[in-house]
Chain A
Amino acid sequence: MNRIEALEAIYADIQDCVVVTIMGAVAAELYSLGHRPNFFYLEHAMGLASSMGLGISLSRPELPVVVLDGDGSALMNLGTFTTLARYAPPNLTHIIFDNGSLLSVGGFPTATSTGSDLAGIARAAGVQSAVTIDEPKMLRDSVAEATAADRLTCIVAKVEPIGPKSFHMDISLLENRFQFRRHLMGSAVSTPGGQQ
Chain B
Amino acid sequence: MPVSMRNSQIIFDALRKADVRIISALPETWLVHLIRMAEENPDTTLVRLAKEEEGVGISAGAHLAGVKSAMLMQNHGFLAAINGIVSLAQLYKIPLVMLISHRGDIGERDPWQCQGGLATLPVLRALNIPHFPLDDPAQVERKILGAQCLAESALTPVGLLLTRELMWEEA
State whether the Cβ of A15 lies closer than 8 Å to any Cβ in chain B.
no
State whether the Cβ of B91 lies closer than 8 Å to any Cβ in chain A.
yes
Cβ-defined partner of B58 (8 Å) among A43, A54, A173: A54
A80 cross-chain contacts in B, Cβ below 8 A:
50-51, 54, 57
Cβ-defined partner of B51 (8 Å) among A44, A56, A79, A173: A79
State whether the Cβ of A177 lies closer than 8 Å to any Cβ in chain B.
yes
Q: Mark A79-105, 1 if CB is under 8 A from B, else 0.
A: 110110011000000000000000000
| B56 touching A48, Cβ below 8 Å | yes
If A174-B93, A177-B93 touch, does A55 touch B88 (CB 8 Å cutoff)? no
B84 cross-chain contacts in A, Cβ below 8 A:
45, 48
A85 to chain B, nearest CB (A): 10
| B48 touching A47, Cβ below 8 Å | no
Cβ-defined partner of A52 (8 Å) among B21, B22, B48, B61: B61
| A184 touching B65, Cβ below 8 Å | yes
Interface size counted on chain B using CB atoms at 8 A: 32
A184 cross-chain contacts in B, Cβ below 8 A:
64-66
State whether the Cβ of B35 lies closer than 8 Å to any Cβ in chain A.
no
| A60 touching B65, Cβ below 8 Å | yes
Interface size counted on chain A using CB atoms at 8 A: 37
For the A-B complex, the count of residue pairs with Cβ-Cβ distances under 8 Å equals: 112
A131 cross-chain contacts in B, Cβ below 8 A:
none
A53 to chain B, nearest CB (A): 7
B165 to chain A, nearest CB (A): 32
| A55 touching B62, Cβ below 8 Å | yes
Q: Mark A163-189, 1 if CB is under 8 A from B, else 0.
A: 000000000011001001100110010
A126 to chain B, nearest CB (A): 12
| B66 touching A181, Cβ below 8 Å | yes
Q: Mark B60-101, 1 if CB is under 8 A from A, else 0.
A: 111111110100000000000001100110011110000000
State whether the Cβ of A162 lies closer than 8 Å to any Cβ in chain B.
no
| B65 touching A55, Cβ below 8 Å | yes
State whether the Cβ of A50 lies closer than 8 Å to any Cβ in chain B.
yes
Q: Please measure, in the bound complex, the distance between the C-alpha atom of A181 and the C-alpha atom of B64, giving whole angstroms.
A: 5
If A52-B58, A58-B47 touch, does A45 touch B63 (CB 8 Å cutoff)? no
A172 to chain B, nearest CB (A): 11
Chain B residue nearest in CB terms to A57: B61
Q: Please measure, in the bound complex, the distance between the C-alpha atom of A159 and the C-alpha atom of B21, giving whole angstroms.
A: 39
Cβ-defined partner of B57 (8 Å) among A18, A52, A60, A174: A52
Chain A residue nearest in CB terms to B49: A83
| A83 touching B61, Cβ below 8 Å | no
| A44 touching B87, Cβ below 8 Å | yes
Interface residues of A (CB under 8 A from B): 18, 20, 40, 42-45, 47-60, 63, 77, 79-80, 82-83, 86-87, 173-174, 177, 180-181, 184-185, 188
The 9 closest A-B pairs by CB, nearest first: A55-B61, A51-B57, A79-B50, A48-B57, A55-B58, A45-B88, A59-B67, A59-B65, A44-B87
Q: List 20 A-B contacts (CB under 8 A).
A: A44-B87, A45-B57, A45-B87, A45-B88, A52-B58, A54-B54, A54-B58, A55-B22, A55-B58, A55-B59, A58-B58, A60-B67, A77-B54, A79-B49, A80-B54, A83-B47, A177-B64, A177-B92, A177-B93, A177-B94
Interface residues of B (CB under 8 A from A): 21-22, 45, 47-51, 53-67, 69, 83-84, 87-88, 91-94
